[in-house]
Structure 1
């Protein structure tokens, strides 16, 4: 394997690990009821990632990443917290657009002066 392809594969693996860690950390927040519980769970999650940070074998790293992704998918929260105004949130596109032909005037309080 050439040096360039080795570096490219390592960069892709680092990106996959970063994404997996962020997803797992965000999902940990969904499971924790209180912040002090979240901090403990986040610390344990970080320890699991740190335990494998010195692995050098590319195939072993791919296997660890695949196992981590499978574990994350298995234990994902069934009803994750979604910020209300984000897509999927309770306030996302709460007010539908008005039908065609209805004009909305945004001159608050000056409606009497329309000519």
Structure 2
């Protein structure tokens, strides 16, 4: 291999490894959406890992691209329609529940002070 083609080959392989890693991670997280109990999740996660390990020795970059495309299409096909989202994350039930006030609005934090409390302090202390 020449220097340019080997650099392109290694760059393509690095991009493929990254795509496989992202696909595996997304599929593993989505598996937890389908299998609510841990004992079911562990079995499904093991099956998912076996599917990925079955093709880990493939060296042909074009075949790897086809396998990744097939895996991504399968993931999109079996993706959970209502995934669990952490409440404070974007898309969660608590996200932006208390939005920041618009520009120009000044929020003051003046609390109610009772007359009895005012009598105990001098005016200079407040």
With normalisation by structure 2, the TM-score equals 0.79
Larger-gyration structure (1/2): 2
Q: Number of paired residues?
A: 111
- Aligned match for 2:17, one of 5, 14, 19: 14
Q: Which residue of 1 aligns with 2:54?
A: 51
With normalisation by structure 1, the TM-score equals 0.87
- Aligned match for 1:31, one of 30, 34, 37: 34
Unaligned stretches of 5+ residues in structure 2:
112-116
Segments ≥4 residues shifted beyond 4 Å: 111-115
Cα–Cα, structure 1 residues 54 and 96, in superposed 2: closer, same or farther, change >3 Å? same
RMSD across aligned C-alpha pairs, in angstroms? 2.2
Partners of 1:3 and 1:57 lie apart in 2 by 14
Partners of 2:99 and 2:65 lie apart in 1 by 46
1:69 aligns with 2:72: yes
Note the alpha carbon deviations across 1:66-90, whole angstroms, 9 max, x for none.
Answer: 0000000111000000001111111
Partners of 1:49 and 1:105 lie apart in 2 by 60
- TM-superposed CA distance for 1:105, in Å, is 4.9
